[in-house]
Chain A
Amino acid sequence: MKTFTFERAATPDQAVDAFTAHERARYLGGGTNLVDLMKLGVESPEHLIDVSGLPLDEVERTPEGGWRVGAAVRNSDLAAHPGVRHDHPVLSQALLAGASGQLRNVATTGGNLLQRTRCPYFQDTSTPCNKREPGTGCSARGGAHRDMAVLGHSPHCVATHPSDMAVALAALDAQVEVLGPEGRRTVPAADFHRLPGDTPQQDTVLRPGELVLAVSVPPPHEGARSAYRKARDRASYAFALASVAAVLAVREGTVTHAALAFGGLAHRPWRARAAEEVLVGSAANAHTFARAADAELGAARPLGDNEFKVPLARSLAVNLLTTLADRSEQGA
């Protein structure tokens, strides 16, 4: 690992100023991803700015009745927050389906959003990778790609985004508040991560030096139920092969509200707008749910060894929507 200088920021402004003042700076959250990547030589910052102690560690009510989650809130605390669990079970469930107890105690909301892909070639500096070293090629496309993307990938990169939390946030229409050298702005969580295109080195729409301040979720839709389902190679402590976050409201047998996002399938949490269009206004039954899943997954372009992800995601979605429809109808 290369040597680096270190500072602890006391305010968000101080953090952003420090970033601007240094050549190769990085923000340090809990460090559960960044420290690992520094050990692997994938990241080699010259200056670390610790933002885990910023006064952004509260989950607060918004004036609209939603929740504002500070970037320094730990994943375990957010997952256990009674108000969040009550209003948005999908968010708590997504967090609890990720990583381990010890990692969640340390990982922050900001760091979780900004974590890098788990593509094994990205983590191995001896292999070509366009995301790590633009222009060197993609080792995964013709290599081990069983865990890679089936939607929205490009010839330049077929990686997936690893966060479970971000999938829930995309389905919840959350907003990400950021502060940068040019000031504050807000980005919808569903548009926060990018597709790889020909610039896979850029995971998100964040500009250099922008710091995540908070993530806000709106109040829950009336009568809606939400949940997260994740399929993985072992029962716990593994990244998603495919996952689904869903919010569904049903009245008198008809879907009145639907939001759906897939994880593990693309370079970003995949908000399933085509599926939602099929769902809203249709009869809440298995036939509709299958039609909705197909409307979205019809665009899938599996790579060969990851074809299994398409039917896996389809059945996760159909099962989850069926469960939520029952609960919504019963007011449970």
Chain B
Amino acid sequence: MDDHHTRPATSSTVTLHVNGTPHTQTTDHRTTVLDLLREHLGLTGTKKGCDHGQCGACTVLVEGRRANSCLLFAVAHDGAHVTTVEGLGEGERRHPLQDAFVERDAFQCGYCTPGQLCSAVGVLAEAAAGHPSHVTPPPGAGEPRPEGAPVPLTRAEIRERMSGNICRCGAYPHIVEAIEEMGDVAGGMDGGARNTDGARGVPGNPSGVPEEATR
């Protein structure tokens, strides 16, 4: 066994690829990905709400899949590719979902918004990959959609899939509209999005995350 891992050290050198840029840091094992992003890398777009997995404010994409960064120890994600709200767009160009949020007025104080955006990008990818939700009718139950085919993002689907993101301002109706608009586009074309091939991403589907950000 690699002796680096068995040394009784309580900190480790960890590399995270954040929005396409590798960052190598020596961090205490207790450091979460959220704290690493905010306190060590100065990427304060990702917010801390509850710090216990209950509010979704800290949602980022890890290998293209949404996750609560407050519950991830950075040391357990050495080498991972993380996309934060800062990396959703391309350079100065916003991600189409960000435009939809602005156009639909999908926030008030904006504190939950980075988490809502990352979560919604994950939702679009999961639905395009055919991942079911609690409200998705099973195939066969009067439902022509074959197993694994993209799931249409109805309002009920969006509300269910976004339930891990709490908004204290109650901006939900506009958040749902903004995502619905993106889902419509995604259903027609490819969502104006590019395929990702993150190691553990949602296989073969558009997530709208720039390729270099998730690799």
Interface residues of A (CB under 8 A from B): 1, 3-8, 14, 28, 30-32, 35-36, 38-40, 48, 50, 52, 76, 79-80, 82, 85-86, 89, 92-93, 96-97, 99-103, 105-106, 235-237, 332
Q: Are B163 and A100 closer than 8 Å at their CB atoms?
A: yes
Q: Are B164 and A237 closer than 8 Å at their CB atoms?
A: yes
Question: Across the two chains, which residue of chain B brings its CB closest to A230?
Answer: B134
Q: Are B72 and A31 closer than 8 Å at their CB atoms?
A: yes
Question: Across the two chains, which residue of chain A brings its CB closest to B131?
Answer: A80
- Rounded to whole angstroms, the CA-CA distance of A235 and B131 in the bound complex is 20
- Rounded to whole angstroms, the CA-CA distance of A137 and B138 in the bound complex is 46
Q: Are A35 and B71 closer than 8 Å at their CB atoms?
A: yes
Q: Are A36 and B71 closer than 8 Å at their CB atoms?
A: yes
Q: A100-B163, A332-B140 are in contact. Are A28 and B147 (CB under 8 A)?
A: no
Tell whether B181 is near chain A: CB-to-CB under 8 Å. no
| Chain B interface, >50% SS class | loop
B205 to chain A, nearest CB (A): 12
Stretch of B15-23, B27-35, B81-89, B103-111 on the interface side: B27-35
Contacts of A5 in B (CB 8 A): 7-10, 29
Q: Are B130 and A80 closer than 8 Å at their CB atoms?
A: yes
Q: Are B5 and A4 closer than 8 Å at their CB atoms?
A: no
Q: Are A31 and B66 closer than 8 Å at their CB atoms?
A: no
- Rounded to whole angstroms, the CA-CA distance of A105 and B5 in the bound complex is 26
Tell whether B174 is near chain A: CB-to-CB under 8 Å. no
Tell whether B189 is near chain A: CB-to-CB under 8 Å. no
A191 to chain B, nearest CB (A): 28
Question: Across the two chains, which residue of chain A brings its CB closest to B138?
Answer: A89
Contacts of A28 in B (CB 8 A): 73, 76
Contacts of B66 in A (CB 8 A): 101-102, 105
Q: A3-B30, A101-B161 are in contact. Are A236 and B134 (CB under 8 A)?
A: yes
Q: Are A101 and B147 closer than 8 Å at their CB atoms?
A: no
Contacts of B148 in A (CB 8 A): 82
Please name 7 further chain A to chain B contacts, defined as beta carbons within 8 Å, in addition to the given A96-B134, A105-B66, sorted by A numbering. A5-B9, A7-B5, A48-B76, A50-B76, A96-B132, A101-B123, A236-B160
Of residues 72 through 102 on chain B, the ones whose CB sits less than 8 Å from some CB of chain A are 72-73, 75-76
Contacts of A96 in B (CB 8 A): 132-134, 136
Contacts of A106 in B (CB 8 A): 67-68, 71-72
Interface residues of B (CB under 8 A from A): 1, 5-10, 12, 28-30, 32, 51-53, 56, 59, 65-68, 71-73, 75-76, 119, 122-123, 126, 129-134, 136, 138, 140-141, 147-148, 159-165
Q: Are B122 and A101 closer than 8 Å at their CB atoms?
A: yes
Question: Across the two chains, which residue of chain B brings its CB closest to A237?
Answer: B163
Contacts of B6 in A (CB 8 A): 7
- Rounded to whole angstroms, the CA-CA distance of A6 and B10 in the bound complex is 7
19 CB-based A-B contacts, threshold 8 Å = A5-B7, A5-B9, A6-B5, A6-B29, A7-B5, A32-B53, A32-B71, A35-B32, A36-B53, A48-B73, A80-B129, A80-B132, A85-B147, A101-B119, A101-B164, A102-B66, A102-B67, A236-B163, A237-B163
A328 to chain B, nearest CB (A): 14
Contacts of B30 in A (CB 8 A): 1, 3-4, 38
Of B75, B122, B123, B132, which contacts A79 at CB under 8 A? B132
Question: Across the two chains, which residue of chain B brings its CB closest to A34?
Answer: B71
Contacts of A236 in B (CB 8 A): 134, 159-160, 163
Question: Across the two chains, which residue of chain A brings its CB closest to B1?
Answer: A14
Of A4, A86, A97, A237, which contacts B10 at CB under 8 A? A4
Q: A5-B8, A48-B29, A80-B131 are in contact. Are A39 and B67 (CB under 8 A)?
A: no
- Rounded to whole angstroms, the CA-CA distance of A6 and B78 in the bound complex is 12
Contacts of B32 in A (CB 8 A): 35
Query: Which of B65, B76, B161 has the most CB atoms of chain A within a 10 A radius of its CB?
Result: B76
Of A6, A97, A103, which contacts B75 at CB under 8 A? A6
- Rounded to whole angstroms, the CA-CA distance of A36 and B53 in the bound complex is 8
